[in-house]
């Protein structure tokens, strides 16, 4: 039986802890993780999928580094951030967590790409040739400087509503961008991600995304990641093949701070 990461004790958290966290927060996050793990497992069972076929990515933006340290002690290793400066600060605070991996899930400005390229394992929001080029250049520089040792995994963000304000490449341009990323020296094409349109039927949106992913896999079979589904719609995403759900509120609770 796969071990539930939420079964770890508070003492396990304390072993690598260097930040201050309240015991009540440890219990709160442990209970939330246990409930969320079962929710994902139930969705997988309903979809006829193995429970380990879907990865949980905690969305930790606006939450303190001490929360990430607690979740690390509970067995999680990958964390999603969406603001470059906030994420860079947390990376610096948590360098003592040797197995931690950072995934950048927000919209990324090209002038911030070189910073994210130093520490991110994966960037989810690549939706233009210029951003892909900026990341390729940034990763190349980081590799030469010894700041990283591996290529950067990239997920293409595809648009399901043609709203430029929400980001995402169109389905017509997706394969062209995928080819560019796949041919880049310092990037690794990992798959697709998307956010459903506001007030849309999640099943319809994720079904369309699944078809787009099939088109990508036909030309790039290594791009198996499909990141879709958040706190409110992860069941629908899992029904349509999501391999990674990005969950904030259902795990972390209400945001303790506001965006600046």
- In angstroms, the CA 100 to CA 27 distance is 21
pLDDT surpasses 60 at 3: no
Left, alpha or beta for 141 (phi > 0: left; psi -120 to 50: alpha)?
alpha
Reported as a single tens digit per residue, the pLDDT across 87-130 is: 999 999 999 999 999 999 999 999 999 999 999 999 999 999 99
Q: 73, exposed or middle or buried, with CB in 10 Å at 0-12, 13-18, 19+?
A: buried
The fold of 22-252 is TIM Barrel (3.20.20)
Identify the band that residue 183 occupies on the pLDDT scale cut at 50, 70 and 90.
Answer: very high
Tell whether the model's pLDDT for residue 2 goes beyond 80. Answer: no
In the numeric block, which tokens belong to residue 216? 């990508």
Can you spell out the DSSP letters for 47-58?
TT--GGGSEEEE
| pLDDT tens track for 184-237 | 999 999 999 999 988 889 999 999 999 999 999 999 999 999 999 999 999 999
- If one compares 1 and 156, the residue with the highest pLDDT of the two is 156
**Which pLDDT does position 166 carry in this prediction?**
80
Residue 159 neighbours by CB under 8 Å, 6+ apart? 127, 166, 167, 168, 169, 170, 171, 194
């Amino acid at each position: 039986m796969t071990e539930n990461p939420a079964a770890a004790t508070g003492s396990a958290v304390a072993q690598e802890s260097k930040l201050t966290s309240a015991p009540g927060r440890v219990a709160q996050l442990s209970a939330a993780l246990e409930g969320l793990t079962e929710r994902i497992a139930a969705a997988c069972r309903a979809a006829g999928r193995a429970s380990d076929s879907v990865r949980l990515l905690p969305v930790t933006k606006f939450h303190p580094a001490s929360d990430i340290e607690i979740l690390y002690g509970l067995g999680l290793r990958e964390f999603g951030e969406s603001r470059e400066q906030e994420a860079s600060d947390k990376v610096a605070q948590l360098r003592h967590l040797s197995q931690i991996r950072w995934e950048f899930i927000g919209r990324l400005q090209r002038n911030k790409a070189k910073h994210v390229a130093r520490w991110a394992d994966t960037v989810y929001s690549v939706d233009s040739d210029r951003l892909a080029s900026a990341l390729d250049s940034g990763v190349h520089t980081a590799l030469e400087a010894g700041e990283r040792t591996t290529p950067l995994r990239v997920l293409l963000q595809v648009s399901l509503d043609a709203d430029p304000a929400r980001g995402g490449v169109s389905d017509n341009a997706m394969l062209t961008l995928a080819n560019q990323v796949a041919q880049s020296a310092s990037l690794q094409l990992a798959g697709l991600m998307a956010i459903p349109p506001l007030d849309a039927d999640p099943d319809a949106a994720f079904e369309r995304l699944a078809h787009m992913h099939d088109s990508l896999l036909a030309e790039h079979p290594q791009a198996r990641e499909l990141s879709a589904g958040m706190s409110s719609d992860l069941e629908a995403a899992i029904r349509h093949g999501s391999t990674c759900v990005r969950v904030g509120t259902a795990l972390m609770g209400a945001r303790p701070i506001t965006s600046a």
